[in-house]
Amino acid sequence: MAKVITADIIEAYPIYLLRWQLSTPLLWYILYLLESYHLSPFIMAGFANFIGGLFFFPFDRYIFLRRTKLDKRVFLHLPLYLIRWQLTNFTLAGVIALLGVEILHVIIANLIGGIIFFWIDKFIFDH
């Protein structure tokens, strides 16, 4: 049976997309610092996404679960969430490889990623 788009999804989706844009300055700054080391875009994106995943886990957890207190499920959610952030390397590294490391390019990558990865994060926090 197919799931219906419910009110909680309609409420969470725009907030989630805005949260992705909140990560733009952090990711861009990390990429800007790493650019001088002449690393591959995929390695730069991986490092930036690891830091971003650690920083933004509580925000996304609240968007999906409306919880601020830590419980035992955090130990299940956090590793899956960090792995999911590494999946976004494909969008972030692809955009910076094609367009370069400018803040507008990170915004574009985050728009693409937010649209795609909402459903994966929803799955992580729902199970």
Q: Tell which wins on pLDDT, 7 or 29.
A: 29
Is the separation of the CB atoms in 24 and 107 below 8 Å? yes
The pLDDT tens digits for 69-97 are: 878 888 889 999 999 999 999 999 999 99
pLDDT of residue 108: 95
For residue 89, with 0-12 CB atoms within 10 Å meaning exposed, 13-18 middle and 19 or more buried, which class applies?
Answer: buried
pTM for this structure? 0.86
**CA-to-CA separations, 5 to 10, 11, 62, 118, in angstroms, rounded:** 7, 10, 19, 13
Question: Looking at this protein, which amino acid is placed at residue 80?
Answer: L
